[in-house]
A and B are shown apart, each in its own frame.
Chain A
């Protein structure tokens, strides 16, 4: 079974502040003796690694964090563009279906009440406006994908 004083023993060996009771326990406990031996070897290894190699410099990590932040900002900003693009496509699909349905009725000689001149003008204006928005949005987005010419 694990010894309840194991971690306390390790901490005391690191800080050098073992109580007399803990020292007495360590002398008679094979588990704590084994833990101390492993901790000593691991500590030597940690010191060796710290002396012979180093983590990446802080500036490199800082620069990576900055790049990550810019990427996240870009991702967030393009969400609105994606939503506009999808809305434009949905509007276009609905308009095409509605127009096809209305034209089919026209062909049969029946003019539905929604297809009077005023409604038709409003629909066409809306379609042109949507096409303009989608076109401008696409143009702006596509420009961003081109490599700089400088």
Chain B
């Protein structure tokens, strides 16, 4: 048996338990928190593939902190959710720093087909995608966290690493820009 095998077997012997949380507990946590986090990542990144990658990376990091040497203090549901959003937002920024903002491509094909259905929800879906594409990355994040996740300025500040006062101003500007982008579409529909 090689050294790599020995260590891999040792680490693999605890597949039912990674970093102090067992698979069933993780599944329950994932079922409660993954979907809103994934939707946030899809809209903030503009790419489903990237959102999948970042979601996976977010939970890997969460699990590695869960039982590591610098273990997390016990967290309630809201704190866990906020922590997951913070990791995801950090990873998103990291990805933008590495590869710029050229990731908004792969939803195009899927959503082009959806236009033909023209359900009200699908029309709103296309509108939001168009608006998000026109906004800066930081604006997308702040708008989504405030208007979909219902987070207040302090919560958004904790997740994005910005000051609460800056969030207030940035949210105001992002909202004005989003409203301007949505208005022609709204008028056309009306």
Contacts from A to B (Cβ < 8 Å): 1-2, 6-7, 10-11, 14, 31, 34-35, 37-39, 41-50, 52-56, 58-62, 64-66, 68-70, 72-74, 77-78, 81, 140-141, 143-146
Please report the C-alpha to C-alpha distance between residue A6 and residue B120 in the assembled complex, in whole angstroms: 26
Known: A44-B120, A70-B7, A70-B12. A61 touches B48 (CB 8 A): no
Q: Is B55's CB under 8 angstroms from A73's CB? A: no
Q: Is B124's CB under 8 angstroms from A45's CB? A: yes
Please report the C-alpha to C-alpha distance between residue A43 and residue B127 in the assembled complex, in whole angstroms: 12
* B4 located at the interface, meaning its Cβ lies under 8 Å from any Cβ of chain A in the complex: yes
Please report the C-alpha to C-alpha distance between residue A45 and residue B125 in the assembled complex, in whole angstroms: 4
* B85 located at the interface, meaning its Cβ lies under 8 Å from any Cβ of chain A in the complex: no
Closest residue of A by beta carbon distance from B51: A55
Please report the C-alpha to C-alpha distance between residue A55 and residue B151 in the assembled complex, in whole angstroms: 22
CB-CB under 8 A from B87, the residues of chain A are none
Known: A48-B122, A69-B64. A2 touches B59 (CB 8 A): no
Number of interface residues of B (CB under 8 A): 60
B1-30 Cβ-contact flags toward A at 8 Å (1 or 0): 011110110111001001100010011001
* B172 located at the interface, meaning its Cβ lies under 8 Å from any Cβ of chain A in the complex: yes
B82 to chain A, nearest CB (A): 15
Please report the C-alpha to C-alpha distance between residue A144 and residue B6 in the assembled complex, in whole angstroms: 10
Please report the C-alpha to C-alpha distance between residue A10 and residue B5 in the assembled complex, in whole angstroms: 54
Q: Is A39's CB under 8 angstroms from B147's CB? A: yes
Closest residue of B by beta carbon distance from A72: B64
Q: Is B124's CB under 8 angstroms from A11's CB? A: no
* B56 located at the interface, meaning its Cβ lies under 8 Å from any Cβ of chain A in the complex: yes
Please report the C-alpha to C-alpha distance between residue A11 and residue B27 in the assembled complex, in whole angstroms: 28
- Which of B5, B48, B55, B63 has the most C-beta atoms of chain A within 10 angstroms of its own C-beta? B63
Known: A34-B175, A41-B127, A49-B125. A74 touches B56 (CB 8 A): no
CB-CB under 8 A from B8, the residues of chain A are 70, 73-74
CB-CB under 8 A from A1, the residues of chain B are 172
Known: A38-B179, A39-B148, A66-B15. A2 touches B4 (CB 8 A): no
**B50-71 interface (Cβ within 8 A of A):** 51-52, 55-56, 59-60, 63-64
Closest residue of B by beta carbon distance from A30: B179
A and B contact pairs by CB, cutoff 8 A, 12 listed: A1-B172, A2-B171, A6-B146, A6-B175, A37-B179, A38-B179, A49-B39, A69-B63, A70-B12, A140-B2, A144-B2, A144-B3
* B161 located at the interface, meaning its Cβ lies under 8 Å from any Cβ of chain A in the complex: no
Q: Is A38's CB under 8 angstroms from B143's CB? A: yes
Q: Is B7's CB under 8 angstroms from A7's CB? A: no
**B28-43 interface (Cβ within 8 A of A):** 30-31, 34-39, 42-43
Closest residue of B by beta carbon distance from A78: B3
* B101 located at the interface, meaning its Cβ lies under 8 Å from any Cβ of chain A in the complex: no
